[in-house]
């Protein structure tokens, strides 16, 4: 998980650099295209193509790809519009959206503890964006849209994981996004230089490698162990933002990020605790 966080953080830096020159659609396309290299290598090493590509749910994978495109594009756009640390901090709202959406979309029961954490987390979001003042930026809304998209993507992955192996989900997601973004590429194209081709290649390799590492992390340890490490990506984002662009997070952004991260960790704690309890009838009035 630490390796995944580092690879994704480096990818985010390259995305922010590249979106200063290239359309978001083009950067997202090459991120998906070149990610097929490590993903394909892993599939070939783990059971081969036939075993990993067999699926009875092609339309579910297509839907996952469509959601992924929207989320990825919004996230990359937010990197262009905001300081890197601010954009990453706002995407930490994803677990809050996930908890709220899991009720209507997955039929999960959310008790008072997790609902309270969601409300506190959204208060943290309000602290970060300060909607009552004149500093609310369009980029903040884009970053929150990316967080909501990530939550929707997580829900589709949960649904697919009931029948599909992780490698299958990753491959079809990467392939679907590459094809669909490729259809839009003629309308948003800027020819890269040799140096920029290398940056685009690195973006895809880092993204694909990060996907494989995070998938492996969750297969080796419980979510309660590995998921909190994802919050280290904020430290990387702030560090890279300061070193490369001279960005220093505002006090409200730092305070809000702490609140949102704490809420996300508490939600994870409650969900892990709930799943660890042996299946039995839930008493009426249980607070989850």
Instruction: Work out how many domains the chain is built from and give that number.
Output: 1
Domain membership of residue 284 (yes or no) is: no
Domain presence at residue 286: no
227-286, pLDDT tens digit by residue? 888 889 999 999 999 999 999 888 888 899 999 989 988 888 887 777 665 444 444 444
Tens of pLDDT along 73-90? 999 999 999 999 999 999
Mean pLDDT of the chain: 87
Report pLDDT for 177.
95
DSSP 8-state class, residue 281 = P
Domain, as residue range, for 130: 2-275
Are the C-beta atoms of residues 277 and 111 closer than 8 Å to each other? Answer: no
Indicate whether 287 belongs to any domain.
Answer: no
Pair 68, 176: CB distance under 8 Å: yes
In a domain, 288, yes or no: no
270-279, pLDDT tens digit by residue? 877 776 654 4
| Nearest Cα residue to 139 out of 67, 76, 68 | 76
Per-residue pLDDT at 198: 97
Burial of 58 (0-12, 13-18, 19+ CB in 10 A): exposed
């Amino acid at each position: 998980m630490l390796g995944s966080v580092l690879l994704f953080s480096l990818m985010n830096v390259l995305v922010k650099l590249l979106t200063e020159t290239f359309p978001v659609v083009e950067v997202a396309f090459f991120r998906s295209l070149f990610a097929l290299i490590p993903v394909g290598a892993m599939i070939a090493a783990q059971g081969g193509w036939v075993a990993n590509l067999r699926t009875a749910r092609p339309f579910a994978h297509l839907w996952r790809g469509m959601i992924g495109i929207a989320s990825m594009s919004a996230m990359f756009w937010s990197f262009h519009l905001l300081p890197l640390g601010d954009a990453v901090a706002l995407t930490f709202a994803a677990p809050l959206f996930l908890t709220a959406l899991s009720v209507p979309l997955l039929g999960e029961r959310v008790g008072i503890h997790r609902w309270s954490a969601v409300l506190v987390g959204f208060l943290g979001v309000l602290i970060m964006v300060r909607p009552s003042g004149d500093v609310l930026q369009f980029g903040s809304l884009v970053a929150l849209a990316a967080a909501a998209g990530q939550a929707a993507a997580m829900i589709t992955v949960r649904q697919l994981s009931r029948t599909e192996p992780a490698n299958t989900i990753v491959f079809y997601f990467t392939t679907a996004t590459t094809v669909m973004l490729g259809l839009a590429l003629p309308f948003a194209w800027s020819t890269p230089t040799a140096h920029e081709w290398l940056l685009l290649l690195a973006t895809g390799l880092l993204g694909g490698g990060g996907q494989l590492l995070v998938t492996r992390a969750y297969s080796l340890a419980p979510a309660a162990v590995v998921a909190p490490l994802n919050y280290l990506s904020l430290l990387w984002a702030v560090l890279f933002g300061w070193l490369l662009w001279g960005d220093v997070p505002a006090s409200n952004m730092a305070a809000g990020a702490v609140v949102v991260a704490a809420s996300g960790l508490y939600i994870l704690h409650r969900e892990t605790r709930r799943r660890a309890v042996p299946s039995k009838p839930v008493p009426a009035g249980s607070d989850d």
